[in-house]
């Protein structure tokens, strides 16, 4: 119920007024049954616009800190992420990756749409970065398709480091489902999982028009990779 209230009464009308969002390719979404929505990640606003523009409810994996904050701000975050169906995930522990994988697989086995950001973090500069393979492992373990989704313009609506939105047009582009059933039974094969992930990122590059960088975004943020020294592939 609270999801519908957020979408149609509290948050949705404001987003529609400020960004006039459009969705392209909504016919590529299954009317029922499980699927992974693999999205690029330009801004915090992605997690608002994607559920707004997709007719079915989306389940996201969210860091546990969103559920444990203190004060009024912490209470609001907890209420919001709980209302929209987020699953809390603890990060930083030895079992964090396995816990996230198990939570994602569980959501898919329940027939849900699972929203993932394969880059693992927001892009530091608007380019598309190397994807992590957990998404591919989930797809192989459950047999569900992966649907690439490109968020366009959200970094202008919600520039990095800002909290007050700025009027800007936003578009959500939904690509055709990618079927990886040819790799059935090959979960755990790191070469197959990397190949699947790279195929999804290539589709995201085409959908979004972003330049692709073959390093992890978090490594750039942590200074492990110096900006300008990465291998970059241009997008159409």
pLDDT at 227: 59
Q: What is the DSSP letter of 178?
A: B
Terminal C-alpha separation, the chain = 41
Of 44, 63, 52, give the one whose Cα is nearest residue 23.
52
pLDDT at 83: 67
Whether 72 maps to a domain, the answer reads yes
Distance CA 174, CA 177 (A): 9
Whether 114 maps to a domain, the answer reads yes
Whether 202 maps to a domain, the answer reads yes
Whether 24 maps to a domain, the answer reads yes
For the chain, residues with pLDDT lower than 70 are 1-10, 66, 79, 83-85, 91-94, 226-236
pLDDT (tens digit per residue) in 179-212: 999 999 999 999 999 999 999 999 999 999 999 9
Whether 227 maps to a domain, the answer reads no
Distance CA 38, CA 137 (A): 13
pTM above 0.95, yes or no: no
160 three-class SS: coil
pLDDT at 116: 95
pLDDT at 7: 67
Size (the chain), residues:
236
Whether 193 maps to a domain, the answer reads yes
Distance CA 161, CA 107 (A): 31
Whether 153 maps to a domain, the answer reads yes
Domain that holds residue 173: 17-222
Whether 192 maps to a domain, the answer reads yes
CATH number of the domain that residue 194 is part of: 3.40.1130.10
Distance CA 180, CA 36 (A): 12
Total domain count, the chain: 1
> In sequence order, which ranges of the chain are alpha helices (DSSP H)?
2-5, 12-19, 46-53, 65-68, 71-83, 96-109, 134-142, 154-157, 190-208, 217-221
pLDDT at 9: 62
């Amino acid at each position: 119920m609270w999801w519908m209230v957020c979408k149609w009464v509290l948050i949705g009308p404001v987003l529609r007024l400020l960004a006039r969002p459009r969705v392209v390719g909504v016919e590529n979404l299954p009317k029922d049954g499980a699927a992974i929505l693999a999205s690029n990640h330009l801004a915090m606003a992605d997690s608002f616009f994607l559920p707004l523009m997709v007719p079915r409810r989306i389940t996201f994996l969210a860091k546990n800190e969103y559920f444990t904050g203190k004060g009024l701000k912490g209470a609001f975050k907890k209420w919001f992420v709980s209302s929209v169906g987020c699953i809390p995930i603890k990060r930083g522990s030895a079992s964090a990756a396995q816990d996230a994988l198990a939570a994602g697989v569980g959501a898919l086995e329940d027939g849900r749409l699972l929203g993932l950001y394969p880059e693992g973090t927001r892009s530091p500069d608007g380019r598309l970065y190397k994807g992590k393979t957990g998404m591919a492992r989930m797809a192989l373990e459950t047999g569900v398709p992966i649907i690439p989704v490109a968020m366009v313009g959200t970094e202008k609506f919600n520039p990095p480091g800002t909290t007050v939105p700025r009027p800007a047009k936003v578009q959500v582009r939904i690509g055709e489902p990618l079927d990886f059933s040819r790799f059935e039974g090959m979960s755990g094969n790191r070469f197959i999982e990397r190949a699947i992930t790279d195929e999804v990122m290539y589709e995201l590059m085409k959908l979004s028009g972003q330049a692709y960088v073959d390093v992890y975004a978090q490594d750039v943020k942590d200074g492990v990779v110096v900006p300008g020294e990465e291998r970059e592939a241009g997008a159409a």
